[in-house]
Amino acid sequence: MKLTADQLAQFTKDGFLILPGLFSPDEIDALRAPLSDLFTVGAPENFIEKDSGIVRTAMGLHLRDSTYAKVVRHPRLVEPARQITGANDLYVQQVKVNAKVAFDGEVWQWHYDFATHHAEDGVEAPLALNLHIFLDDVTEFNGPLWFLRGSHKDGPVGATLDTVTTSYPLWCVDKAAVTKLANAGGIASATGPAGTALIFGDALVHGSPPNLSPWDRHIFSLILNPVANAGTKQQRPDHQHHRDLTPVAALPDNCLLAA
């Protein structure tokens, strides 16, 4: 799969790209099937919500399940990532499903991923890409991602480590910077039916509100990073930034449904 010139231009302008219907209902069913086993409270790769004790994010999934080992090499994710980065050799930096369960899914503060990748993992440049697949319908009500449109254009802004607000330590952008960026480019909400894909860059400021609705929201996230830009620190455990720098090789397009 190749992105069009218009899609690439939109990504450059906004910092993100929404691709409706990129994955079929059968493919989404295949990705959803292992989640109950993978979302085990107490697994070292899983982070739980601060208040409810429900799993907030389950990491390292490609090392724990055969279906997720396939999707990290899916051509509908790998080929656009190669186009955008201009790098043929990309490694799997992080794999997870972020959950916002009905009524209890908590906030993700305003942040951009490169702040963590640089400070804690020793990644030199904001070249990594976050490639998402919606595993549930994502609406304005169940905690969609919010983007500060174009917030990547001038490079990374300042960020400070927040270890208090949620159970997941996060390098966050302060209110003054968020206000300035929001006034400049506006806020976009990434919504769409299950099967929608979402691509955004390492310096794009984003967050998501709590899920107060009665509908769950699960999103698969794959981060691919050029091997030449690999992290130089091993401060975090492997499931938060993988050490294997083997370039990812794309599988056939039907890999999620093939026996």
For all residues of the chain together, what is the average pLDDT?
A: 97
pLDDT in tens, 135-163: 999 999 999 999 999 999 988 999 999 99
At the topology level of CATH, where does 5-229 sit?
Answer: Jelly Rolls (2.60.120)
pTM as predicted = 0.97
Q: What is the model's pLDDT at position 165?
A: 95
- Domains in the chain: boundaries: 5-229
Q: How far is CA 197 from the centre of its chain?
A: 10
pLDDT in tens, 35-85: 999 999 899 999 999 999 999 999 999 999 999 999 999 999 999 999 999
* Residue 176, strand partner residues: none
Q: What is the model's pLDDT at position 232?
A: 96
- Name the residue with tokens 């993700």: 108
Cβ pair 150, 220 in contact under 8 A: no
pLDDT band at 28 (very low <50, low <70, confident <90, very high): very high
pLDDT band at 134 (very low <50, low <70, confident <90, very high): very high
Cβ pair 189, 205 in contact under 8 A: no
Whether the predicted pLDDT of 259 surpasses 80: no
Residue 165, φ and ψ in degrees, nearest 5: -60, -45
